[in-house]
Amino acid sequence: MSFVAIIGAGAIGGALAHKLAQRSRVADVRLIDPHATIAAGKALDILQASPIESSSTAVTSSTSFAAAGGASAIVVADPIDGGELAGENGLSVVRQLVRLDAAAPLLFAGARQRELLMRAVRELHVDRRRVLGSAPYALESAVRAVTAVMVDASPVDLSIGVYGVPPKSAVVAWQAATLTGRPLSSHLAPHHMAAISARVSSLWPLDAYALASAAARVAEALVDGSRRRFTCFAVLESTSAGRDVAAAVPVEIQRGGIRTIEEPALTRQERTAFENALAR
């Protein structure tokens, strides 16, 4: 039975549980948080809405990390009373999860968890293929939404890659961007592209619903595999800085982790900005 364990029933965790249940692509969602009453209340609320949303996903809650054992994917989100898991507290939680289940992939849903993701690989020696962060996928969505307003189009019809290390070192791949399969550069003037690029840092960190929506799609890919490409935080080897670094890059996801990390499609100028981001 496929199930996703969500660590933290805060704003991101609760929205993620609802999104996964609503999409009904996984059999079971377990919302894990020390605040038993609130976590149980959110799980019950989502479950009671399932007949309206035609959802067949079971949603339960627990106060114990042991409930994440055997998960198809473990999503590190936000506890009810502490914001996104990060720093030493976050590392302590991840250490317990790794000891509990040495095979489940770890998905970091928050916008402030890039450092925690790197520490899981560097200090806890988690296989880099099992660790990824979905916040860059949400950032791409935000950039598409802003751009769609400017070109008077649906954001669904836009394809725009955003790579590097957001927020300050995010690189928008404008030359490879498309609108309904055609180059976006024929619809958007260079100064408009520059204006949107300048706004990227103000879009970060994203709010709970955008982060949860992105995490839901990536979690589903970790459960069943996917032929789609997602832009996620992944830990890269042998960077220009001479050390491992987590950056937003396109990845192909298979069941249980990352299948391949792909080279972003960038111009020479964009490539230089991307490499500079990795070196910082």
Q: Is the dihedral of CA 85, 91, 96, 97 positive or negative?
A: positive
* Amino acid symbol at 247: A
How many C-beta atoms lie closer than 10 Å to residue 270's C-beta? Answer: 20
| CATH topology (fold) of 3-133 | Rossmann fold (3.40.50)
SS3 content of the chain, % helix, strand, coil (to 5): 45, 20, 30
Query: Residue 63 burial by CB count (10 A; 0-12/13-18/19+): exposed, middle or buried?
Result: middle
Angle at CA 159, nearest 5°, toward 154 and 161? 135
pLDDT attached to residue 194? 95
Contact 147/195 with Cβ under 8 angstroms?
A: no
pLDDT attached to residue 242? 61
Delimit the domains of the chain by residue range: 3-133
What are the strands, taking DSSP E only, across 124-179?
Answer: 131-133, 158-159, 162-165, 169-172, 178-179
Q: List the pLDDT tens digit at each of the 280 positions of the chain.
A: 689 999 999 999 999 999 999 999 999 999 999 999 999 999 999 999 999 999 999 999 999 999 999 999 999 999 998 899 999 999 999 999 999 988 999 999 999 999 999 999 999 999 999 999 999 999 999 999 999 999 999 999 999 999 999 999 999 999 999 999 999 999 999 999 999 999 999 999 999 999 999 999 999 999 999 999 999 999 998 666 567 899 999 999 999 999 999 999 999 999 999 999 998 7
